[in-house]
Amino acid sequence: AKPVSIMCRLCFKEPLGLSRALAVFSAFMGAVNLVLAVVESPLWQIICRSVMFIVQVGAAVGVFAAIHISAAHLMIPVMCMSVLNIILNAVQLVFAVSGLLYPESFYANYIRGDRPIDDDSDSLVTSRCISTLIPAAITLSICLRGIFAHLTVYRLIQERRRSKYMTE
């Protein structure tokens, strides 16, 4: 078997590997969000995203530690971060869809800013809504898959510990 196919099989079909991969992905996306915030956002967003990044890295480390030492409670931070990411991406998705469907929506007006409503501002709203919608939908689906993977690992670790105590 090829090393790449073994790696894919371990990462995406085996729950422990999938949970690790998704935790690393979450931390990576936190880093990307932080870099984007530093480039174009106000200070309060940079601070919020910095805190989120630190928590995401801590949660990712927790996943590796939970699997290594069979401590199911260390999976809780990554599950909480997954739920938070699901909520945030669902809100972004709703805003993007509302901006596409309703030109007078809150999100469309936020994108438009002080510009008057005309064809240029409508095309700006459409492009920004689409560029928000696609990543939010992809990230939402990954986070939904992730929460189930993390929950499976949590249960697996608990079962491992239970069976270990029963045999002693």
Task: Assess contact for 36 and 72: CB atoms under 8 A.
Answer: no
User: What percentage of the chain carries pLDDT values higher than 70?
Assistant: 90
pLDDT at 2 over 70: no
Please give the model's pTM, rounded to 2 decimal places. 0.78
d(C-alpha 103, C-alpha 119), whole Å = 11
So what's the pLDDT on residue 62?
94
The residue with greater pLDDT, 41 or 32, is 32
Section 52-78 average pLDDT? 93
Handedness of CA 137, 142, 146, 149 (dihedral sign): positive
Task: Assess contact for 88 and 136: CB atoms under 8 A.
Answer: no
So what's the pLDDT on residue 9?
53
So what's the pLDDT on residue 5?
55
- pLDDT-derived band at 156, boundaries 50, 70, 90: very high
d(C-alpha 110, C-alpha 75), whole Å = 37
Section 126-133 average pLDDT? 89
So what's the pLDDT on residue 48?
87
The domain tally of the chain equals 1
| Mean of pLDDT over the chain | 85
pLDDT at 44 over 60: yes
Give the structural domain span for 50: 3-167
- Residue 11 in tokens: 């990462």
So what's the pLDDT on residue 96?
92
So what's the pLDDT on residue 90?
95
